[in-house]
Amino acid sequence: MKKVRLGIIGIGGMGSGHAMNIKEGKCPEIEVTAVADINPDRLKWAEENLDSSVVKFSSAEELLDSGLIDAVLIATPHYFHTVYAIEAFKRNLHVMSEKPAGVYTKQVKEMNEEAMKANVKFGLMFNQRTDCIYRKMKELVQSGKYGKIKRTNWIITDWYRPQAYYNSGEWRATWSGEGGGVLLNQCPHNLDLWQWICGMPKKVLTKMHFGKWHDIEVEDDVTTYVEYDNGATGTFVTTTGDVPGTNRFEITMEKAKLVAENGKLTLWELSVSEPEFSKTNKIPFCAPEITKIDVETDGKSEQHCGVLNAFAGAILRDEPLVAQGVEGINGLTISNAMHLSAWLDKEVEIPFDDELFYEELMKRVKTSKRKENVNTIFSDTKGTYGTQTK
């Protein structure tokens, strides 16, 4: 069977996890042929844990120019996702990138333009799109059976992280190293799913706390209100400071309410749509009849391996990806709008000024605690000083 020759840039926690899944045969149409990392300890790990045939490089450029790969998986700190994706596109290599797509929309738009020019497959590691509950939510919401969305609410506070987590890497929780906090590290999956299922908001108003629960410079507590084109509203609440936390995603439509919580999907179906009932009912303090349904799903949740297997199928047989890489800008747009709203202390409309966001971000990068290599990160698009581990 023909296999995709994959190179992994960044062989830290995420990169090594993907490598081991492939080694264990969970992605039968992929073989890891090369890895790259600037950290000698991670290359030593690769030497000890991966097949001896896997070639190790100390820079991403060496890997990209090696001729040993058909595709690359990018598992570096956030700023380098776009850097190495663009370099791979220029070499006509297929790309799978870890989330988020990038740190700021201006950067990601440039990446997407390069992707459109290249005749390659480009995917993002939005593995939560494979979850049976979220797939079923999308199916039900977008079927039209229950009418328009009226309200969306997601409280996602089960991202608890102690201070030791942030102390584990100098790039973590800094404007120059990570580009943000809970929104850029923990929540890209949730923001992607939110827009994938419910669509993009048009207005964003956010209150945000920076280092409220931890000794960090970026956000660790966020509350957002949004409005959609059809008049629907929504809220998004997240933090890394709550324990125990909550993960409850609720969508209210004209004829039903959906709730995903504790690994279950529940539907409350109305006998008649709320707008119709409100117009025709003559009895005060009355409501439509409601039926509670425990929604059945197919039970499948293939996660990271599912994304990689679809990536291989796209390369070998032109099959669909789990998530097109160019779609990554959607969740990032919401995240950037949240930051901009908090920084400016006002409502932000989507689309917003990409340059304004970049300027505001750079103000914070210049005063970041992690200052080494800052100028290189933002002036050298080739990232020639190598690959950092995610």
Kindly report the CATH number assigned to the domain that includes residue 37. Answer: 3.40.50.720
**Domain for residue 309, yes or no?**
yes
**Shared-domain flag, residues 152 and 165:** yes
Structural domain of 80: 4-126+303-324
**Domain for residue 313, yes or no?**
yes
Q: Is the pLDDT of residue 386 over 50?
A: no
Q: Two tokens at 199?
A: 């669509």
CA distances from 268 to 252, 261, 265, 272 (A): 9, 14, 10, 12
**Shared-domain flag, residues 94 and 243:** no
**Domain for residue 81, yes or no?**
yes
Can you give the pLDDT at residue 144? 96
CA distances from 293 to 140, 146, 247, 264, 290 (A): 13, 14, 20, 11, 10
Provide the Cα torsion 134, 339, 224, 181; round to 10°: 60
Can you give the pLDDT at residue 46? 98
**Shared-domain flag, residues 150 and 277:** yes
| pLDDT tier for residue 374 given thresholds of 50, 70 and 90 | very low
How many Cβ atoms from other residues are within 10 Å of residue 146's Cβ?
Answer: 20
Report angle CA 346, 172, 48 to the nearest 5 degrees. Answer: 150
| Omega of the bond leading into 100 within 30 degrees of 0 (cis) | yes
**Shared-domain flag, residues 122 and 135:** no
pLDDT tens-place string over residues 58-116: 999 999 999 999 999 999 999 999 999 999 999 999 999 999 999 999 999 999 999 99
Rounded CA separation 13/33 (Å): 18
Can you give the pLDDT at residue 1? 66
Can you give the pLDDT at residue 383? 35
Provide the Cα torsion 372, 361, 125, 171; round to 10°: 20
Q: Which SS3 state, helix, strand or coil, does residue 221 take?
A: strand
Rounded CA separation 88/119 (Å): 11
Rounded CA separation 273/256 (Å): 8
**Domain for residue 351, yes or no?**
no
How many Cβ atoms from other residues are within 10 Å of residue 385's Cβ?
Answer: 13
Q: Which residue has the tokens 């006002």?
A: 346
pLDDT tens-place string over residues 323-370: 999 999 999 999 999 999 999 999 999 999 999 999 999 999 999 987
Rounded CA separation 303/296 (Å): 19
Average pLDDT over residues 137-155: 98
Taken as a whole, the chain contains a residue count of 390
Q: Two tokens at 161?
A: 């992280």
| Omega of the bond leading into 77 within 30 degrees of 0 (cis) | no
pLDDT tens-place string over residues 12-67: 999 999 999 999 999 999 999 999 999 999 999 999 999 999 999 999 999 999 99
* R_g over Cα of the chain: 22
**Shared-domain flag, residues 13 and 146:** no
Q: Is the pLDDT of residue 175 over 60?
A: yes
Task: Give me the number of domains the chain comprises.
Answer: 2
**Domain for residue 370, yes or no?**
no
Q: Which SS3 state, helix, strand or coil, does residue 203 take?
A: strand
Residue ranges of E strands in the chain: 4-9, 30-36, 55-57, 71-74, 94-97, 122-124, 149-156, 203-210, 219-227, 233-239, 247-253, 256-261, 264-270, 290-294, 348-349
Can you give the pLDDT at residue 377? 42
Q: Which of 1-5, 199-203, 299-303 has the lowest mean pLDDT?
A: 1-5
**Shared-domain flag, residues 93 and 148:** no
| pLDDT tier for residue 277 given thresholds of 50, 70 and 90 | very high
**Domain for residue 367, yes or no?**
no
Average pLDDT over residues 135-156: 98
Average pLDDT over residues 220-238: 98
**Shared-domain flag, residues 92 and 221:** no
CATH code (residue 270): 3.30.360.10
**Domain for residue 227, yes or no?**
yes
Average pLDDT over residues 163-186: 94
Cβ 174 vs Cβ 217: under 8 Å: yes
Can you give the pLDDT at residue 259? 98
Rounded CA separation 383/104 (Å): 17
pLDDT tens-place string over residues 109-140: 999 999 999 999 999 999 999 999 999 999 99
Question: DSSP letter string over 319-375?
Answer: PPPSSBGGGHHHHHHHHHHHHHHHHHTS-EESS--HHHHHHHHHHHHHT-S--TTHH
| pLDDT tier for residue 171 given thresholds of 50, 70 and 90 | confident
**Shared-domain flag, residues 89 and 148:** no
Rounded CA separation 175/181 (Å): 8
Q: Which of 72-81, 306-315, 376-385 has the lowest mean pLDDT?
A: 376-385
